[in-house]
Amino acid sequence: MRTPTILPAAHRRRMSPAEVGLLCAGLVLLALALWGPVLHASPHQHAFADQRTLWGIPCALDVLSNLPFALAGAWGLVLLGRVRSGVLDGATRATARLFCMGLVLTAAGSSWYHWQPDDAGLLWDRLGMTVAFAGMLGLAAAQRVSSRAGGTTAMVVLAAGPLAVLWWAHTGNLLPWAVVQLGGMLLVLALACLPQRAGAWVVPLGAVIAWYGAAKLLELSDHAVYEATGQWLAGHSLKHLAAAGAAWPVLRALHSVTARGHAPAMVGGHNGAPCPRVACSPH
């Protein structure tokens, strides 16, 4: 009698509809990055409104406003270190750590860039942001789709992001980077509309997107905000503060886990709003 072959659970498990949807969305974004129209950066992309030198620091407020990224990332790593083993699944813990490390790297890269804005500095700025994006996208996928999807998504973005940055540096085509940045955040928004995965760590993705959206609006209003505030504060400096604010929902959720000693056994409504499992019906 022939002994049946027993495959590991990871090989036997088929892709869920949510995983298939996430894969299709990723393929659409990849196709757009590869075959979409060439997108050139503005010739004035380094001409920020506030170029004052303060305390010997050029473009001081655009440089110093990166400090909240470093503080948020460092505090997130401290909180993760306090979470007991087994409380968070491996993919969630890894992607949350990646996100926090990305915040620290963003603070370093963006400060370097704004000290003397040019294409060389912008490359390092964007490479740091890529790590944060990979962590956030992976965290969102782990929360709303599956642990497997979270880890895979983070690894894909961690590979694709630097390639997009290097392609821009080599060809001047900004489209692949725009797909990683804006397409990635649209993907987080789509994931926020899915129901919370049963037993997953609850992070309000809607709040993350709201902070990020505010940051993009401030970035586009750099000069207008500078004039409106009597040249006290520029939109780009405030953009850094708002973007760092996008880490607050994650930090708050981490603090909740350390206070409880366990991840809340919840499934949730849209945008990460938690509700007791017994009170929720499937979407």
Domain ranges of the chain: 62-202+252-276
Q: What are the tens digits of pLDDT across the range 191-241?
A: 999 988 877 788 899 999 999 999 999 999 999 999 999 999 999 999 999
- Alpha carbons within 13 angstroms on the beta-carbon side of residue 5 total 3
Q: Are 122 and 129 in contact (CB under 8 A)?
A: no
Return phi, psi of residue 3, to 5°: -80, 125
Sign of the C-alpha dihedral computed for residues 169, 67, 242 and 250 taken in this order: positive
pLDDT tens for each residue of the chain, 283 residues long:
444 444 455 445 789 999 999 999 999 999 999 999 999 988 889 999 999 999 999 999 999 999 999 999 999 999 999 988 888 888 999 999 999 999 999 999 999 999 999 999 999 999 999 999 999 999 999 999 999 999 999 999 999 999 999 999 999 999 999 999 999 999 999 999 998 887 778 889 999 999 999 999 999 999 999 999 999 999 999 999 999 999 999 999 998 888 665 554 443 343 333 333 333 333 3
- Cα atoms in the Cβ-side hemisphere of radius 13 Å centred on 204: 17
